[in-house]
């Protein structure tokens, strides 16, 4: 029916038969967000541990502001850089076929998320009493062992809060995904193109006829995005409070 031999997940709001299947948009949003977090969280966490626990004071004075200044770069600039420079560079390095794909978007998203996760994680790690580190060092642990096995578990609620906020930042990003890749492709491969919910709303809202099915579906997408971020933040807050209770000896 409609030229397809079997059911397909398609988002195609133009043509004789409009297709409003939101599954490709959900997959695209989830795929790009997870890739961004997979790149941003380890990088930001490693940088936060180094800056707060290991780096010398003089080096820390310019390294911390330098990382946090990345948050001042507009997303349209990051998207343009990913479109023009990063996509070509990664294609030459890895040799994949599709130049603009979810992998490129994820790296650009991760760059935008790193300052947020780093700032919150670094504050949480710095707030851990220095006596924890001094006791571990006195028992023969190295600086990295003390930071990884003693300080990080104590600061885990704050670190997790940074990850939750980073997730909200990544899933709500529009311009980077819109500039780099905006083709609605139902695929879980990171080397295929993707279109997120935010990209769809930004690209199609101005052209949707008020009161039409397309117009209403776009508002539905906005409602879904709000619900996902609200539930994620709520669950993250509940988990953080329970984690704090366990660390403090409360059930």
Domain with residue 189: its CATH number is: 1.10.3720.10
- Is residue 171 a part of any domain in this protein? yes
What's the total number of domains in the chain?
Answer: 1
SS3 248: coil
Q: Is residue 3 part of a domain?
A: no
Q: What are 20's strand-pairing partners?
A: 11
Taking residues 173-200, what's their average pLDDT?
Answer: 88
User: Quick one: what percent of the chain has pLDDT higher than 90?
Assistant: 39
Q: Is residue 232 part of a domain?
A: yes
| Extended beta strands in 19-60, E state | 19-20
**Domain, as residue range, for 79:** 17-247
The pLDDT-based confidence of 29 (bands split at 50, 70, 90) is: very high
Nearest to 123 by CA among 166, 82, 76, 155: 155
Which run of H or of E encompasses 11?
strand 11-12
Handedness of CA 237, 239, 245, 248 (dihedral sign): negative
In sequence order, the β-bridge partners of residue 11 are 20
In a domain, 7, yes or no: no
**Tens digits of residue pLDDT in 124-163:** 898 888 888 888 888 888 888 888 888 888 888 889 989 9
Q: Is residue 4 part of a domain?
A: no
**DSSP run (H or E) holding 16:** none
- The whole-angstrom separation of Cα 122 and Cα 27 is 32
Whole-prediction pTM value? 0.87
Q: Is 32 exposed, middle or buried (0-12, 13-18, 19+ CB in 10 A)?
A: buried
Partner residues linked to 19 by β-bridges: 12
């Amino acid at each position: 029916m409609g030229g397809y031999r079997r059911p397909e997940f398609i988002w195609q709001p133009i043509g004789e038969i409009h297709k409003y299947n939101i599954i490709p948009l959900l997959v695209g949003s989830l795929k790009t967000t997870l890739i961004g977090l997979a790149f941003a969280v380890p990088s930001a966490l490693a940088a936060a541990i180094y800056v707060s626990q290991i780096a010398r004071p003089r080096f820390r004075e310019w390294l911390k502001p330098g990382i946090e200044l990345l948050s001042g770069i507009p997303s349209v600039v990051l998207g343009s850089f990913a479109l023009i420079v990063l996509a070509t560079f990664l294609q030459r390095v890895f040799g994949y076929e599709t130049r603009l794909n979810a992998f490129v978007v994820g790296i650009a998203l991760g760059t935008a998320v790193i300052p947020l996760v780093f700032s919150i994680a670094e504050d949480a790690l710095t707030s851990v009493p220095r006596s924890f580190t001094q006791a571990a060092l006195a028992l023969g642990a190295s600086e990295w062992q003390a930071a990884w096995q003693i300080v990080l578990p104590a600061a885990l609620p704050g670190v997790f809060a940074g990850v939750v906020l980073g997730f909200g930042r990544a899933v709500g990003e529009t311009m980077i995904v819109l500039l780099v890749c905006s083709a609605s492709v139902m695929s879980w491969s990171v080397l295929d193109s993707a279109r997120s919910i935010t990209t769809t709303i930004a690209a199609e809202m101005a052209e949707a006829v008020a009161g039409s099915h397309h117009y209403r579906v776009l508002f539905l997408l906005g409602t879904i995005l709000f619900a996902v971020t609200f539930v994620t933040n709520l669950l993250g807050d509940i988990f953080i409070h329970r984690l704090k209770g366990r660390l403090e000896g409360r059930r």
